[in-house]
Chains A and B, each alone.
Chain A
């Protein structure tokens, strides 16, 4: 097993992660949270013991980000991670300048949560970490839980878990994807103070939701995207006429590339699909029309060759000698523009679907639900995530504006379809006194 303490190990950031530290600012960097709501209160001491063991299994996570002359790089942290009690808004930025490790494990009441920087990993891989941590935690509590499909904490880390899978699947002779050249409609509203994050969770029954989507002849993902596009379409209709209200609606969702390109990396290996709502007629579109338009667009764009082109175009940039030789300070400016153009500008909303959790069946006895929180984006005001476990699907809306239009309309829509909804959240951090 690899020893973490006093390590001098260092490695390059993977291809897709390179943009995150560069596009970050002194107050923002891409952070997300995976969280499990346990049925019993969390014991901090036991969780710390579990983390001490599990971090040895995931040595690529206990790292700090450092700045080189040409690129950022990751270096093993000298200190072991400590479990802390949650006392801040979710997805607080990592203090990269003072060498804070790029992940943190926290607890609060019934929640066990791990926050990661996107420089390290993606949702799928970090969920593996969280589940292994919970597995060890439950074992320490004396619960009998089978490991099932999880990575076991006693296994040695494998070399392929450290690989940059983008480089493995890069085809230098393959075609490349073209950059998007439009600006999408964005939700507007009174902004919260910087650092304040509003989180709203809505819990619905998965089976009923699946019934709804199947009766509409689309997948669950397409159905959700359809509802979101419909809500945004209605909002835009009543917005004051300005430049923003004339822009098209686009919902971007992330895709785990491991489904298309086999890989067992625990680092970042995800892509995204921009589903642009094609408004064919001048008349108001109905929900069914929007749903079909979004589903068709989504299917067209989520083909394997599109992701191959995405990998090719991204990796060819990294291999370009001119780009490599440019000092980091100048690269940062270029990356900031690229991030704005390719991520926030072209999407009205960013959606991440964690899908159904692949965990041992015994977990259902101890875990109530999973939550995923994508931190606020740099320019986009809202993000939404979906996680399903034990017949509970949790939709999480994260926003940095005070306006709750999107989640309100989204849940009202589902409620009109007969679904029962349970909402919770941080209420902007303003808890009843």
Chain B
């Protein structure tokens, strides 16, 4: 039995409690079967996970925007200039680039490893700059450049390598993050050589590990590696 909408006068599928056109409640005299001519036109009930995730995303986004706005306002009203509010802005920026991305956009594992390593390094530079007020400190005090950055990048390469060994069948997927990681390692080396006219041994180690890993991939699986490069750079 298919009931008609009292307002629109159209036949309404018995899966629906309301008319999709006007929203009127369809009063059914008896318990109707959910099929018409033996065919079920109904859609499955959708789980709430999508809605919950969307609400969570909005809550975090609004919290982010409101806290940035309030901190800038309070900072300006209290001191007539803005200085610490930038830290709130930067903190949220880091959050969205690392945890936020993986929470809401479900990044691939290898991409997460890469981004966590890079942004952990960036945070180290930032904290150091905050402590000393300037980036130009002596090499002995420059722990972000000398220890933390290479350690995070080296850690990243090591985790990627372990991940590669566990899922070795799909190892070619890791060649590009490793190439990128190797290039990223070159940045502190360039900074170090530009500012202190020397490169610290930790960065040498980090760069060497990256380059050796890359060379291994290029030699052991050169066909796949260069095919991957060809795909990536086709014009």
1/0 per position for A244-271, CB-CB distance to B under 8 A?
Answer: 0000000000000000000000000000
Q: With CB as the reference atom, state the residue of chain A lying closest to B17.
A: A432
A73 touches B234 (CB 8 A): yes
- Residues in B with CB closer than 8 Å to A44 are none
Partner of B233, one of A70, A99, A196, A431: A70
A431 touches B45 (CB 8 A): yes
A301 CB within 8 Å of chain B: no
- Residues in A with CB closer than 8 Å to B70 are none
Q: With CB as the reference atom, state the residue of chain A lying closest to B223.
A: A8
A199 CB within 8 Å of chain B: yes
B44 touches A424 (CB 8 A): no
A411 touches B44 (CB 8 A): no
A425 touches B43 (CB 8 A): yes
Partner of B23, one of A26, A70, A404: A404
- Bound complex: CA A200 to CA B235 (Å): 43
Given A404-B23, A422-B13, A431-B45, CB of A97 within 8 Å of CB of B231: no
From 27 to 50 in chain B, residues with beta carbon under 8 angstroms from any chain A beta carbon are: 36-47, 50
1/0 per position for A80-94, CB-CB distance to B under 8 A?
Answer: 000001111100000
- Bound complex: CA A85 to CA B46 (Å): 12
Partner of B38, one of A39, A95, A432: A39
B233 touches A421 (CB 8 A): no
A88 touches B50 (CB 8 A): yes
Interface residues on chain A, number (Cβ under 8 Å): 58
A420 touches B11 (CB 8 A): yes
- Bound complex: CA A432 to CA B234 (Å): 52
A407 touches B20 (CB 8 A): yes
A296 CB within 8 Å of chain B: no
A24 CB within 8 Å of chain B: no
B108 touches A98 (CB 8 A): yes
- Size band of the B side of the interface? 35 or more
B15 touches A432 (CB 8 A): yes
B46 touches A73 (CB 8 A): no
B50 touches A195 (CB 8 A): yes
Partner of A411, one of B8, B36, B37, B234: B8
B81 CB within 8 Å of chain A: no
Q: With CB as the reference atom, state the residue of chain B lying closest to A87.
A: B44
B231 touches A68 (CB 8 A): yes
- Bound complex: CA A70 to CA B231 (Å): 10
A429 touches B231 (CB 8 A): no
A179 CB within 8 Å of chain B: no
Q: With CB as the reference atom, state the residue of chain A lying closest to B15.
A: A431
From 147 to 184 in chain A, residues with beta carbon under 8 angstroms from any chain B beta carbon are: none
Q: With CB as the reference atom, state the residue of chain A lying closest to B18.
A: A427
- Bound complex: CA A424 to CA B34 (Å): 12
Chain A nearest CB, measured from B2 CB (Å): 7
A200 touches B40 (CB 8 A): no
A423 touches B10 (CB 8 A): yes
Chain A nearest CB, measured from B103 CB (Å): 12
Q: With CB as the reference atom, state the residue of chain A lying closest to B13.
A: A424
From 399 to 433 in chain A, residues with beta carbon under 8 angstroms from any chain B beta carbon are: 404, 407-408, 411-412, 415, 420-427, 429, 431-432
B197 CB within 8 Å of chain A: no
Partner of B20, one of A40, A196, A427: A427
Chain B nearest CB, measured from A220 CB (Å): 20
- Residues in A with CB closer than 8 Å to B22 are 404, 408
- Bound complex: CA A425 to CA B44 (Å): 10
Q: With CB as the reference atom, state the residue of chain B lying closest to A325.
A: B235
B108 touches A97 (CB 8 A): yes
B11 touches A99 (CB 8 A): no
Partner of A8, one of B37, B106, B227, B235: B227
Partner of B235, one of A66, A70, A88, A97: A70
Partner of A422, one of B11, B104, B106: B11
A98 touches B46 (CB 8 A): no
A69 touches B55 (CB 8 A): no
- Residues in A with CB closer than 8 Å to B17 are 427, 431-432
Given A325-B235, A427-B16, A432-B16, CB of A89 within 8 Å of CB of B227: no
A10 touches B10 (CB 8 A): no
- Residues in A with CB closer than 8 Å to B11 are 420-423
7 nearest interchain CB pairs? A432-B17, A424-B13, A426-B43, A424-B41, A408-B21, A429-B46, A109-B40
Knowing that A108-B43, A200-B20, A415-B8 touch, tell me 4 more A-B residue pairs with CB under 8 angstroms.
A41-B40, A87-B44, A97-B111, A368-B37
15 residue pairs from A and B, CB less than 8 Å apart = A40-B38, A66-B231, A70-B234, A87-B44, A97-B107, A110-B40, A198-B20, A199-B43, A202-B10, A324-B235, A404-B23, A412-B8, A423-B10, A423-B13, A424-B12
**A interface, CB within 8 angstroms of B:** 8, 10, 12, 26, 37-41, 66, 68-71, 73, 75, 78, 85-89, 95, 97-99, 108-110, 193-196, 198-202, 324-325, 368, 404, 407-408, 411-412, 415, 420-427, 429, 431-432
